[in-house]
Amino acid sequence: MRRWLAPSARAATPLYFDLNGTTTGLGTGVSSTFNWNTSTRWATDSTGTSVGPWVDGSDAIFQQVTGINTVIYFAPTIFQAAGFSSASTAILATSGVGVVNVLMTLVAIQLIDRAGRRALLLTGLAGMGVCLLLLALGFLIGSSSPALGWITAVSLAGYVGFFAIGLGPVFWLLIAEIFPLYFRGRAMGAAAISNWGFNLLVSVTFLNMIELFGRPGTFLVYAVLTAGAFVFTWVLVPETKGRSLEQIEADLHRQAVS
């Protein structure tokens, strides 16, 4: 199979690889050997385990279990619990969080091809974790404190903002880049189903978690899951900015066998 990379209008580098065996002649900067699973066209580790699906499958889950849609769906309830007693005030504060979401998504569009996918993911997850810890701390202080409302508003806005520049948009871009052409349609569909399935799971369990762990404990659980997502991204998720499908596959293989 032959594909072309064109870093500029005046230069193009041919890339050759054999889907039924070991790759050869992939061009500058690409590992010259890695294994292919001939039934799925996935780079595999020494045990024959496909590497790529684990990366995006886990990202699909992490996007939801870090709590984003519980915050969006239940934001008015969270604001009222934090001391915004008026329903109209709570809804207005929720609208402000929505504005932050839109604005930071526009920022992400500008940064994603400059800073890179991995950098935005790590930055976003770190910020989300800090904001969730602040949110848990605010509820731990108690509703009697006048600072709780402001801590909640700033933490929620910050959490949604960091999600909007990292895990929110980058996940959907990664599933279009990591999955190979042969398998991309089905794999992206499976990742989307997984994502929305965990969206449902997290949403229907949120109020039960509030009853079981309390508000501080619930947001602390989300903070721990966010920390897990950060570690997973740091260890396994490759940078895909400016890289060909073959280069991305080679990176995944190197991580699997190292």
Q: 52-236 falls under which CATH superfamily?
A: MFS general substrate transporter like domains (1.20.1250.20)
The span from the CA of 216 to the CA of 193, in Å, is 30
Cβ pair 184, 174 in contact under 8 A:
no
Cβ pair 161, 101 in contact under 8 A:
yes
What local confidence, expressed as pLDDT, does residue 175 receive?
82
The span from the CA of 239 to the CA of 146, in Å, is 43
* Stated pTM of the model: 0.75
What local confidence, expressed as pLDDT, does residue 56 receive?
61
What local confidence, expressed as pLDDT, does residue 218 receive?
94
What local confidence, expressed as pLDDT, does residue 88 receive?
80
How far is residue 214 from each of residues 138, 143, 218, 238, measured CA to CA in Å? 12, 13, 6, 37
Query: What are the residue ranges spanned by the domains of the chain?
Result: 2-46, 52-236
176-211: b (≥16 Cβ within 10 Å) or e: ebbbbeebbeebbebbeebbeebbeebbeebeebbe
Residues in the chain where the model's pLDDT stays below 50: 1-50
Q: Considering all CA atoms of the chain, what is the largest pairwise distance in Å, rounded to the nearest integer? A: 68
**Torsions phi, psi for 43 (to 5 deg):** -65, 135
